[in-house]
């Protein structure tokens, strides 16, 4: 991975098999951002015992069976299975604790922040997935092992590395296209101006002492959890900024939008400047709108639109939110983008691929049918037809 750091021992990206001779995959971090959501918790599903009204008793099963609770009723499968799922999740966290300190610093929090989220029983952001064990800053510090000397040493070592990686990114080279920060200014931002903003972002992080760094990273983790009470506590009691974001160049709003953390999203939008809604990440130019659309949260899309979000924002590779929705098969998002007036047909990325091209490539047939019903025609298929004469 880097000098002195071994290969990352975590699950690889998923392989999606469409047929005997066709398979696709997507980015490892897309799996983290797009799939680790409340709605994908097994406990938001309807177990057979729930459908049957929990009427199973020892007498309805084979001879010798014993009921596990009073009244002779068999305990709900969801109640019985949940401790096992939580234990498996905690086992993975324990495994991460055995890794190199840099890998622990970079990856362990991703599992810890999702323990409650992926054991929740409600797909809605209603607070039921908030960790009941958290009420103070000290609770957060203990949960994430923030603040010891090794942790702070790794932080001090990694931040300059991040700054170098980001400021040296292709998007800041003179040959790169202008990066538009729509909503922040009426004119596209020159690469030099965006580079200055990127440097200023990292310099704010590098200027933090240990107590301030502890607070800033606590905010990162609480937004990742979607824990609004803790976000409020950190912001209002400890005066933690909502604009520091994540140290790798994305905003708190971006992360919340990708997880459907509606309560945190609204709080951040209410307490940040108006143009914050359109701020892109510094490397790939991903925005909160882009993330919400790719992750399938139409309520997040509507919320961002109400706050002036650009629905046709571009990533560094030229993709719009419609591209991400088509790639991931988010039909309802494509329909909503169209209803809100966004162009879902003609934008092409740096590979000259329109949203329809990605819907076809990734076999997202309902999305492809919808885009075709609007008059869409894949740019690649059109090009191939023309070249064939």
The answer, yes or no, to whether residue 233 has pLDDT greater than 60, is: yes
pLDDT at 184: 34
More confident residue, 64 or 46: 46
Overall pTM surpassing 0.75 (yes/no) = yes
**pLDDT interval class at 69 (50, 70, 90):** very low
Report pLDDT digits (tens) over 82-118.
999 999 999 999 998 888 888 888 889 999 999 999 9
The answer, yes or no, to whether residue 7 has pLDDT greater than 50, is: yes
Q: What's the token pair of residue 220?
A: 């990162």
**pLDDT interval class at 266 (50, 70, 90):** very high
**pLDDT interval class at 75 (50, 70, 90):** confident
What's the rounded mean pLDDT across residues 137-160?
89
Report pLDDT digits (tens) over 340-389.
999 999 999 888 899 999 999 999 999 999 999 999 887 665 655 555 55
Chain position carrying tokens 């490892």: 28
């Amino acid at each position: 991975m880097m000098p002195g750091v071994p290969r990352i021992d975590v699950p690889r990206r998923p392989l999606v098999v469409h047929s005997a001779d066709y398979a696709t995959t997507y980015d490892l971090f897309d799996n983290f951002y797009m799939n680790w959501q409340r709605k994908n918790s097994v406990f938001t599903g309807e177990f057979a015992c729930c459908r049957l009204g929990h009427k199973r008793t020892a007498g309805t099963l084979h001879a010798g069976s014993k009921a596990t609770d009073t009244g002779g009723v068999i305990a709900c499968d969801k109640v019985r299975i949940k401790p096992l799922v939580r234990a498996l999740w905690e086992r993975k966290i324990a495994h991460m604790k055995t890794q190199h300190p840099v890998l622990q610093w970079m990856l362990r929090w991703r599992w810890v922040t999702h323990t409650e989220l992926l054991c929740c029983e409600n797909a809605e952001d209603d607070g039921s997935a908030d960790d009941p064990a958290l009420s103070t800053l000290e609770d957060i510090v203990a949960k994430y092992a923030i603040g010891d000397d090794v942790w702070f040493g790794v932080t001090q070592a990694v931040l300059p590395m991040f700054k170098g990686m980001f400021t040296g990114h292709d998007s800041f080279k003179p040959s790169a296209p202008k990066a538009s920060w729509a909503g922040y200014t009426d004119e596209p931002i020159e690469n030099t101006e965006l580079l200055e903003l990127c440097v200023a972002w990292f310099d704010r992080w590098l200027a933090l002492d240990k107590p301030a760094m502890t607070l800033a990273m606590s905010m990162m983790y609480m937004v990742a959890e979607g824990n609004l009470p803790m976000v409020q506590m950190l912001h209002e009691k400890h005066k933690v900024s909502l604009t520091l974001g994540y140290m790798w160049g994305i905003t708190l709003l971006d992360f919340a939008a990708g997880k459907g953390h509606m309560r945190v999203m609204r709080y951040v939008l209410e307490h940040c400047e108006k143009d914050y809604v359109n701020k892109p990440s510094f490397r790939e130019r991903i925005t909160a709108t882009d993330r919400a659309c790719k992750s399938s949260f139409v309520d997040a899309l509507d919320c961002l639109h109400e706050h002036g979000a650009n629905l046709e924002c571009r990533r560094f590779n030229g993709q719009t939110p419609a591209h991400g929705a088509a790639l991931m098969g988010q039909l309802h998002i494509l329909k909503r983008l169209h209803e809100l007036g966004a162009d879902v047909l003609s934008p092409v990325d740096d590979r000259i691929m329109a949203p329809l091209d990605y819907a076809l490539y990734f076999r997202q047939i309902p999305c492809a049918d919808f885009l075709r019903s609007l008059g869409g025609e894949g740019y690649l298929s059109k090009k191939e037809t023309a070249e064939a004469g």
